[in-house]
Amino acid sequence: MSHWTKEVSSPNTLKKWLITHESFRSELHFHNGSDRHHTMKEFTSHHSLVTTPKQEGHSRDTPPEPRQNIPSAKEEFTAKLIGWILQGGVMLSASIILIGLLMLPLRPGGFSVQRFLSFPQTLSQVWAGLLVLHPQAIIALGLLLLIATPVLRVAVSIVAFALERDLRFVVITALVLAILLLSNVLLGTLVGSTSHTTMQHLNFSLVVVLLIFVGSVVAGVLGSLVGLGGGVLIVPLLTLAFGLPIYFAIGASIISVIATSSGAAAAYVRDHLTNLRVGMFLELGTTTGAITGAFLAGLLAPNLLFVLFGVILLISAVPLVFKIGEELPQGVKNDRMATWLGLSGTYPDQRLGRRVAYQVTRTPLGMAMMYLAGIISGLLGIGSGTFKVLAMDTMMRLPMKVSTTTSNFMIGVTAAASAGIYFSRGDVPPLIAAPVALGVLLGAFLGTRLLARLSNKTLRLIFLPVMAIIALEMVLRGLGIAPM
């Protein structure tokens, strides 16, 4: 028996030997050496998990096996670390914003229009207000921390990728961080503030703040489900329902994008629904595009851009109609860039009850689409999540859940690239941005709980009409029919 044990001492053979029926073991034991070798060869050919030549040839065309399996310990740590940063930033900023709101009724003026229009627009003004515990300054501090959360997430990602010894993504993430710092520190100081003191006709009160909060909760749920920033509801809500000017609505929309992204991504990253590498790589395009759009905003006619991008969205919706019933993309193979960067991955699908492996294709085309999405964000003050989801779902052929969650992960960084400019212009009034931020954060939390129970088909059914509404809204706004 010792001779038999020696021959089957390899882990795979020993495992098979232990689970084989006793009679089958006895039959093998009484064979001679050559017969036993022949029998074992047949045994392993039927029961072994060893890769066949055909499988080996297939493995050479696919990404490394670890990317297709359960995340490694280092990848698990990276996901948890980024999740902690996002969750911590959201909780800290929300707490400070809430404290400022609760202090406001205790001060003269309360929620009056005069108080609404008087708020700090620079870091020095925020600091001066904090020294005297000015409620608007406290709220502004919370908003600045919220804006800084995706920037800090990018900085921490550099350390996380370094611990994984992934030098390619250390460089990529460092470039994204440099672009963010350039846009918020340098460009923000070059933009002068704008005076908005001629709006005494506005009807502003505590009731208005509460209604904005409720509407923002709905926007947060929708945004976290389909990878948008909630601006599709925030802008019409503030302009149509409350008569606020478009520049305040756009400023609040930028805050809602960051809030949706940070609030939802904290859960999606920890649950491994988000593809971190796809998101970080494509953020190179979105952040660069956002800065380009901010520069072009004063040179191009906004009305023409609204019509143009609205029409593009409607045309882009056609492929989604034909794949409305698709649960998972089929026949997708990694392109060279996706293989080189290791972009393929897996995600746990609670609806299907298993882990789903997927690959990535047409990566350069997806990057070009992300640059366009960034330009749109910088020009029009939207998160452009619709274009991001379209690029990942229809061009790069990611599963819909991965597309929407990775879009949520990205839109906060895209918005943060231009948020400093909007803040410096005075387009982010704290008494509007505060209820928007708190409502969207709560809605994003509820949306993350709901997404895990939905199928990819259901998400696409939700995404299509939302996309059509966005496209029509952009066209009407460009034609001057919707309020500007």
Residue 96 amino acid letter: I
Give SS3 for 427: coil
Q: Confidence band (pLDDT; 50, 70, 90) for 438?
A: very high
Q: Confidence band (pLDDT; 50, 70, 90) for 243?
A: confident
Quote the CA–CA distance of 176 and 153 in Å, as a whole number.
11
Q: Radius of gyration of the chain from Cα atoms? A: 27
| C-alpha torsion 183→189→190→194, nearest 10 | 110
Quote the CA–CA distance of 113 and 115 in Å, as a whole number.
5
Residue 81's pLDDT is 87
| Burial grade of 278 (CB within 10 A; 0-12, 13-18, 19 or more) | buried
Per-residue DSSP letter, 347: E
| Burial grade of 195 (CB within 10 A; 0-12, 13-18, 19 or more) | exposed
Q: Give, in order, the Cα–Cα distances in Å from 143 to each of 91, 135, 217, 434.
A: 12, 12, 17, 7
Quote the CA–CA distance of 42 and 48 in Å, as a whole number.
10
Q: Confidence band (pLDDT; 50, 70, 90) for 167?
A: very high
Quote the CA–CA distance of 438 and 440 in Å, as a whole number.
6
Which residue, 150, 156, 180, is CA-closest to 170? 156
Say how far residue 384 (Cα) sits from the centre of its chain.
Answer: 11
Quote the CA–CA distance of 295 and 308 in Å, as a whole number.
19
Find residue 477's DSSP bridge partners: none
Q: Which residue has the tokens 């019933």?
A: 325
Quote the CA–CA distance of 362 and 333 in Å, as a whole number.
10
Q: How many CB atoms lie within 10 A of CB 380?
A: 22
CA torsion through residues 201, 206, 209, 211, sign: negative
Find residue 347's DSSP bridge partners: 356
Q: How many CB atoms lie within 10 A of CB 473?
A: 18
pLDDT tens column, 31-83: 444 444 444 434 343 433 344 444 444 444 444 443 445 667 777 888 888 88
Q: At what angle do helices 430-451 and 246-270 cross, to 10 degrees?
A: 30
Q: Confidence band (pLDDT; 50, 70, 90) for 479?
A: confident
Which residue, 224, 289, 236, is CA-closest to 261? 224
pLDDT tens column, 112-157: 666 767 788 788 889 998 998 888 899 999 999 998 899 899 999 9
**Between 250 and 279, residue with greater pLDDT:** 279
Residue 49's pLDDT is 38
Give SS3 for 227: coil
> Which range, of 79-88, 347-356, 410-419, averages the lowest pLDDT?
410-419
> Which range, of 99-108, 426-435, 448-457, averages the lowest pLDDT?
448-457
Question: What average pLDDT does the structure give for the chain?
Answer: 76
pLDDT exceeds 70 at position 408: yes
Which residue, 356, 361, 423, is CA-closest to 124? 423
Q: Are 282 and 407 in contact (CB under 8 A)?
A: no
